[in-house]
Amino acid sequence: MRILVSGGAGFIGSAVIRYLIKNTNCEVANVDKLTYAGNLESLASESDSARYHFYQVDICDGVALDAVFAEFKPTAVVHLAAESHVDRSIDGPSEFIQTNIVGTYSLLEATRRYWSGLPAEAKSAFRFHHISTDEVYGDLEGTDDLFTETTPYAPSSPYSASKASSDHLVRAWQRTYGLPVLVTNCSNNYGPYHFPEKLVPHVILNALAGKPLPVYGDGSQIRDWLYVEDHARALVEVVSKGQVGETYNIGGHNEKRNLEVVETICALLDELVPLEARSYKELITFVKDRPGHDRRYAIDASKIERELGWVPQETFETGLRKTVQWYLDNREWWQRVLSGEYQLGRLGGD
């Protein structure tokens, strides 16, 4: 396969590319605009591979996308490029509308132009895999309810609304134009190379710096946590073996309250890099809840297990331990992110 990964310098995208280069013979094209969350240092080893190709391209730029398709000639697209931070979407929704909706439209059209010109056999084998989020479903009221692939959409934030819109566009391009699409909706990811604005890395790095560990409201919001390398493996299974037109929910089977996540990180740090005479838990600070904060997400991932044989390999405990240890062992990576040095010397940038 020749797989074009949009957003390949991001958290999940880079995990997918690392998996593909390490575990398959696929040719990989990384198409990334390199916004603040895109970091090519997350692909330092993979960039030396002859099977890895990088294009600094905005997915809203149809002309540039056409050139990438013409040169790389993909057999599949794995679409991960997106603005994804809920707090940022509340403060400034326009970038989320532009990237997640207009960008998805632009990529769909570039894909359709390329796909329409393929020979019949290549056209039939082609796949467009769109990666979305469980947040499009809104939240769950009951303690035993789970999101399934047929749960009605009820997005709560500008972020989740923009992702819901992109999901609908992808399905419409299959229904209207016959584009062979696949959609996956995942739960909260965590793991190595995660941009520090997200909960898990933010807590780890604040704790190491002795700063407060902010928890929204009373910390009772429940999320299902998925180790990013498990997710990457699932995405490769879906694009390789998934049934065209199907949706697959991908979850980690790890429901945890936000406060429990923070406390578990603190306990791991207490063990690995203990403070003198106190616990990292003393840094926990409760702050005003954000607007429209969903209370509970939980994924039913039985379909992907039943049809494709995928199950997560990491529990929350093993995955979080690996994650904390990675941040302890890779200080240079996140220190360069915090300082902004990772953005220096970019193609077409400063």
Among 135, 139, 229, 237, the active-site one is: 135
% of residues, the chain, pLDDT over 90: 89
Q: What is the pLDDT of residues 313-329, one digit of tens each?
A: 999 999 999 999 999 99
- The token duo for 236 is 């490769």
Among 134, 167, 224, 230, the active-site one is: 134
The reply to whether 193 belongs to the active site is no
pLDDT of the residue at 345: 54
The reply to whether 237 belongs to the active site is no
pTM of the model: 0.95
Instruction: Tell me which CATH code domain 2-288+296-343 carries.
Output: 3.40.50.720
Angle, CA 29 vertex, CA 27 and CA 30 arms, to 5°: 140
pLDDT of the residue at 301: 96
Among 159, 227, 248, 297, the active-site one is: 159
Q: 74: part of which helix (H) or strand (E)?
A: none
The reply to whether 135 belongs to the active site is yes
Q: Give the whole-angstrom CA distance, residue 204 versus residue 4.
A: 32
- First CA to last CA across the chain, in angstroms? 34
